[in-house]
A and B are shown apart, each in its own frame.
Chain A
Amino acid sequence: MDRFLRGLARFTDGYLKVLPLLGKAVPDRPNAPLVLEVARRTRVAPDVVALRLVGDGPLPAWQPGCHLDLHLPSGLRRQYSLCGDPADRDGYRIAVRRVGAGSAEVHDLPTGTRITVRGPRNAFPFVAGGPVLFVAGGIGITAILPMVQASRRDGLDWRLVYVGRARAMPFLDELPDDRVEVRTGRSADLLRDAHPEGAVYCCGPPSMLDAVRRDFASARLHFERFSPPPVVDGRPFSLELRRSGVVLPVPADRSALDVLKDLRPDVPYSCRQGFCGTCEVGGVRVCVQRPTGDRLVLEDL
């Protein structure tokens, strides 16, 4: 070890002893949670409702691709793309297709309901400068719509292929006719109009995304990174935390991490796909690993 580093080590030994004498850390004031009120409900398609959410003052800024986390009165949490105008700081718009328990609850929220939200956060940032093709499937139009409006405003060379199951698709009235191709039913050859040097932004069901990824050879494909792949072919097992003496049941469709998080919200994890190692406990990557038997033991928890 060279002299500089040995000196640094000796310095640090003393420094850490006097560190508390240099004053205690002053934590930042916590941000108040964002509470919004349902100001308006509009049916924009037979099974799609758009909500306008307003706050007590100007809302946090957002950009195309942002979503909001809704903390519903039942305790369910659901994410919805912001599909209004980013310049409108007085309200957010989301649009929800009725598919399951969460979306049914959103559909039934009466105007005047106040709900806590988190965000906006961006998992689908829009950065195109050149020619761009948008591909939207069904309710995926909500993420794409603000990108289309931004492209119109910035004078980009853009096209939209909008695929739906039936003719009554939401927001057709907000799209110009000339650059939009509306298709119904199963659709092939989605990328016919893609510019070889341009970008593709795609939001839709997984089958559409897979098709686009297969067909698009050029480099600039953007799509939303959703939550981790679902657990398939999983079997239920017991998760034993040896040090705490706790045994938790893990159902077939959840990971050990999912169950652990319910018990300990501050357990570290990151990729949820088994490659980054953040969640490792004693060599076990709890985000993906399942036991060959019916019990997974974590010695250190």
Chain B
Amino acid sequence: MEPDNLVLQPRDVHFDWTALPMHWVPEEPVTTHVMNVLHLLLPAGERWFVRTFRQAVPLITDDDLREDVLGFIGQEATHAEAHGGVLDHLLAKGLDPRPFTDRVEWVFDRVLGDRPGLTAGQQREQLVERIAIVAAVEHFTAYLGDWMLNATAFDRAGADPTMLDLLRWHAAEEVEHRSVAFDLMRHLDRRYTRRARAMLLSAPPLLHLWVQGARFLMAADPDAGRLALRDFRRAGRRGLLPTGYDLTRAFLRYFHRGYHPKQEGSTSQAVAYLATSPAARDAH
């Protein structure tokens, strides 16, 4: 019996990165850095989610949804903090992420932030559009979360346990709250066109930022070499990265009329992981 209608609670997690090696998947600089892009994108991205959703709270007329959104905001805020901690560690190790994170901040501020000079009607539409973009991105985070919870290849490859716990704690909370952004979007605008349009607008910049982020990290790491498509494919075959095929299929699923985020991933699995996650347990 799959539990439903979870009460979402942020968890006060802490991670100690002092022992984290640069290549936390041993001898896998490509996997390490493609996954490290998460730390570059998420602090700025999730803080933008939080700003957007805080603005949306007064528009919500459903008590259960408001409670879900408040739980979502708290979880996203702690995700941003936790990934920010990895950035500090990278900087201390001599890999300065700021040239790239400045660019990411610019995107969330200049492209997706509040705009002066919009009329009230334009502002309201921009807010709903931003929420629809969050819903589109949350489809990917739910897909990736489910993928990460099942990616046993990391354990076989001897990946750093603290980093795995960060990624799986985050993955589990993404699965836990995967319906919230979609439900909020539908609450404010139930048109299919809004959903489909936001996905078409979100996916290319997201892919672009991910590729640029991985290139940036590989270039900044003297022991990493250059990023080649071939390495990405090889990591995919080993189960260390999602394959292009699976990502494309996940992208297309969002366009099904009957799509709902509940269809991605398993709440039971997420809850079970959170009960055993060292960081989430310490946060109780």
- B2: min CB distance to chain A, Å: 7
**Residues of B with C-beta under 8 A to A12:** 111-112
How far, in Å, is A197 (CB) from chain B's closest CB?
Answer: 11
A125 CA to B152 CA, complexed, in Å: 24
Chain A residues lying within 8 Å of B193, measured Cβ to Cβ, are 22-23
- Minimum CB–CB distance for A215 against chain B, Å: 15
Name the distance in Å between A273's Cβ and chain B's nearest Cβ.
7
Q: Which of A2, A30, A122 contacts B3 (CB 8 A)?
A: A122
Residue A273 contacts which of B12, B103, B106 (CB distance < 8 angstroms)?
A: B12
For B212, list chain A residues within 8 Å (CB). Answer: 2
Is the beta-carbon distance between B208 and A27 smaller than 8 angstroms?
Answer: no
Contact B62 A30 (CB under 8 A): yes
Whole-angstrom distance from the CB of B169 to the nearest CB of chain A?
A: 13
A203, B42: Cα distance in complex, Å: 36
User: Are A275 and B272 interface neighbours, CB within 8 A?
Assistant: no
Which residues of B, 1-55, contact A by the 8 Å Cβ criterion?
1-7, 9-10, 12, 50, 54
- Are A30 and B61 in touch, CB under 8 angstroms? yes
A interface SS class = loop
Q: How far is B73's CA from A278's CA once the two chains are assembled, in angstroms?
A: 7
Main secondary structure of the interface of B (DSSP, over half): helix
Residue tally, chain B, CB below 8 Å to A: 64
Q: Are A5 and B12 also in contact (CB < 8 A) when A220-B276, A278-B77 are?
A: no
Contact of B6 among A20, A122, A266 (CB under 8 A): A122
**Assembly CA distance A121 to B271 (angstroms):** 15
B70 located at the interface, meaning its Cβ lies under 8 Å from any Cβ of chain A in the complex: yes
A294 to chain B, nearest CB (A): 29
| Cβ distance A78 to chain B, nearest Cβ, rounded Å | 15
Complex CA distance for A9 and B109, rounded to whole angstroms: 10
**Count the A residues whose beta carbon is within 8 Å of the partner chain — how many?**
54
* Nearest-Cβ distance from residue B54 to partner chain A, whole angstroms: 5
Q: How far is the CB of A31 from chain B (nearest CB, A)?
A: 6
Q: Which residue of A lies closest to B103 (CB)?
A: A1
Pair A123/B7 contact, Cβ less than 8 Å = yes
Q: Which residue of B lies closest to A199 (CB)?
A: B275
Min C-beta distance of B272 to chain A, whole Å: 5
Q: 4 other contacts beyond A5-B103, A63-B1, A121-B6, with CB at 8 A cut-off?
A: A61-B4, A65-B3, A126-B1, A278-B70
Query: Which residues of A are in contact with B by a Cβ distance under 8 Å?
Result: 1-2, 4-5, 8-9, 12, 16-17, 19-20, 22-28, 30-31, 61-66, 86, 118-123, 125-127, 150, 199, 213, 219-222, 225, 266, 268-271, 273, 275-278
